[in-house]
Amino acid sequence: MSYKKTIVVGLFLFGLVVLIALSTFYASLGSCPIDSLSCDNGTFCVPRKLVCNFVKDCQDGQDENVWRCGNLYGSKKVIYADALEGKKVYEEFNKTYQFQNINDFWDYCGFNENEIPKGCKCMKVNLIRCRNRSEIPANFPREVGMIHLRGNSITLRSTDTFELYKNLSYLDLAFNHISSIPPKLLYKLKLLRKLFLQHNQIEELPVEIFSNLQSLSWLLLNFNHLRDFDLNVVRDLESLQYLELSYNNLKLRNASFPNLNQLYELFLDFNFIEELGVGLLGNLHNLTLLSVRSNHINVISSPTFSNLGRLQELRLSDNPIHILDSDFFLKLANLNAL
């Protein structure tokens, strides 16, 4: 009898904890629309497309919270490495500008007001953000290091749009109306490290589009319409560490990634991949995270992963897998998450 009472009490306490957790969760949503984030104690709403875009819109910084952004942009390891790099940038600028605190850094502009294009805002010393634009401004300061054009209605037509901005290390063109990209658009951006092209309507990419981007480490192309994707498009990205291709129309039949020695994390979720061909991943020797969730994969053979000895995390959920080679795990000695 005492066991039954214990079970009843236990179930009651468990239900109470769940109820409190749910109440806390829904309270955190505040009165904001579903597709937005509530922050600053519920007094401010940030649209989803502006969350985790490396620009702080909330005073309390919740839209750029490292844990939240870790779920959007690769592993926590990648995000923390980027945060450490950002700290170094702040410290370097601080030697010159002597900021009182990090908020001063966010708000400080290193350019004269008349150098900033109309409708744009300068912050973080050399970052310029523009909103409500249908085309890219032609008069950024030549020394600009970061251009943030997320959430506009921009299309790309001119090849020479960015050729004057040779110090550019960060370019965000996500959430626009881009369906095609001129082949030489990025050719002069040898220092570019992060390129955000997600949430557009891109159907194909010129094979030479990234040919001169030897510094590029982050490339996000998720939520586009890519179908016939020539993997040679990334062959010259010798510094690429993080590649996001989820939510496209990729099948990757008889395809093979080129030799990308620095690529650590690859995301191919929510595509139409039916098989992971033996040669598809063979050149990605240093890959530590591979995610192919929600595809149409039904067979996993051990040769597919024979060259991925450093793989630590493999995400295969929501695939109709019915054949898995018996020696599959023998090839993945460092795997610790499946």
Q: How confident is the model at residue 301 (pLDDT cuts 50, 70, 90)?
A: confident
Q: Is the confidence at residue 330, as pLDDT, over 60?
A: yes
pLDDT (tens digit per residue) in 230-256: 999 999 999 999 999 999 999 999 999
Domain extent listing, the chain: 2-72
How far is 48 from 34, CA to CA, in rounded Å?
A: 9
Return the biggest CA–CA distance within the chain.
81
Stated pTM of the model: 0.80
pLDDT (tens digit per residue) in 59-74: 777 777 644 554 455 6
Q: What are the tokens at 12? A: 């009651």
Q: What are the tokens at 83? A: 């945060």
Q: Is the confidence at residue 48, as pLDDT, over 50?
A: yes
Q: Which position has the higher pLDDT, 99 or 211?
A: 211
pLDDT (tens digit per residue) in 199-213: 999 999 999 999 999
**Is the separation of the CB atoms in 179 and 155 below 8 Å?**
yes
State the CATH architecture for 2-72: Irregular (4.10)
Q: How confident is the model at residue 136 (pLDDT cuts 50, 70, 90)?
A: very high
Q: How confident is the model at residue 90 (pLDDT cuts 50, 70, 90)?
A: low
Contacts with 79 (C-beta within 8 Å, 6 or more apart), sequence order:
66, 69, 70, 73
